[in-house]
Structure 1
Amino acid sequence: MDYKIGMILEGRITGIQPYGAFVALDENTQGLIHISECRHGYVNNIEDFLKVGQKVKVIIIDIDEYTGKISLSVRCLEKPFDFSKTDNRIHYQHKKFWTNKHLQSGFAPIDQRLDKWIKRALDDIEQEK
């Protein structure tokens, strides 16, 4: 069978690891449901939701063009999770960005910047005195 992203299939769980579950799509093809694609919300233990031998309905969310590995999701087939019903936080309709496009700090490792941050914090404390 020629698999494509977006296809919805039924498979059988053949193995479970802490990071995800392997699913047999046919006799020769296997895919992986990453633990984050198991269901909406946090999943502490994937074995609480999936068991070896279980039939599952999955959607193909990615196929690595070099290795042919197939990424699957059960979560994408669920009803969208409604965060507004889980607690008293305000449900925002617009996208939030937690970065500043004008800040040119990049992704340098923390240990390369920690000394500068500590010095800056200590200088700020001294100025407040």
Structure 2
Amino acid sequence: MCKKFEIGNIIEGTVTDVKPFGAFVAIDEKTKGLVHISQISHNFINDINEHISAGDKVKVKIISIDEESKKISLSIKQAKPFTPRPKDKPSYSSNSNSGSNYKSNSSSNYRNKDFSKNKFQAKPKKESSLDDKLKDWLKQSDDRQATLNKRSKRR
């Protein structure tokens, strides 16, 4: 098997079977490999069947070959360049037919918040040593604890 295929090669194959954990791809008449679900797309996959189907022709990269078990691990995402999603579109889809009309921007609002105004945040320094970082962290921790102690004494 090793003589015919080498790790790092990009070849074309045909998807023969799709399972919840990945897809089996025939790379020649006798040899199949597995593309784990994490190796199908650069983006998160909720339902593998939305991304790949039996009979699809795909380019795959051979990422490992186990001679003992005769298993080949393949990757579709490593065989193609990464193209990030546009930032203005949410990464989730809202389907009104699903029975749920829930639409939330709370997570995106949380991600977009500017936390730089946090009074406990350390000032950025150039090339701090580990000792300097540890001292800063300890000072911030002490400041937070003092603030909490003051609040608890007021009650």
Change (3 A) 1:88 1:68: farther
* CA-CA distance at 1:81 after TM superposition: 5.2
Give the TM-score, by structure 2 length: 0.52
Identify which of structures 1 and 2 has the higher relative contact order when contacts are C-alpha pairs closer than 8 Å and 6+ apart: 1
Unaligned ranges ≥5, structure 2: 89-110, 114-151
Write the distance in 2 (CA, Å) between the matches of 1:73 and 1:88.
32
* CA-CA distance at 1:62 after TM superposition: 0.7
- 2:10 maps to 8
Give per-residue Cα distances to partners, 1:61-94, cap 9 Å, x unaligned.
11113212000001112323558x58759xxxxx
- 2:126 maps to none
Write the distance in 2 (CA, Å) between the matches of 1:79 and 1:30.
24
- In the alignment, residue 4 of structure 1 is paired with which amino acid? E
- In the alignment, residue 39 of structure 1 is paired with which amino acid? S
- In the alignment, residue 45 of structure 2 is paired with which amino acid? V
Write the distance in 2 (CA, Å) between the matches of 1:82 and 1:48.
18
Larger radius of gyration: 2
- 1:121 maps to none
Structure 1 consecutive aligned stretches of length 4 or more whose deviation exceeds 6 Å: none
- Choose from 60, 64, 67 the match for 1:65: 67
Change (3 A) 1:52 1:82: closer
Please give the residue correspondences for 1:118-129 in structure 2 after superposition, counting only pairs within 5 Å. Answer: none
How many residue pairs were aligned?
A: 91
Unaligned ranges ≥5, structure 1: 90-127
> Is the helix fraction higher in 1 or 2?
2
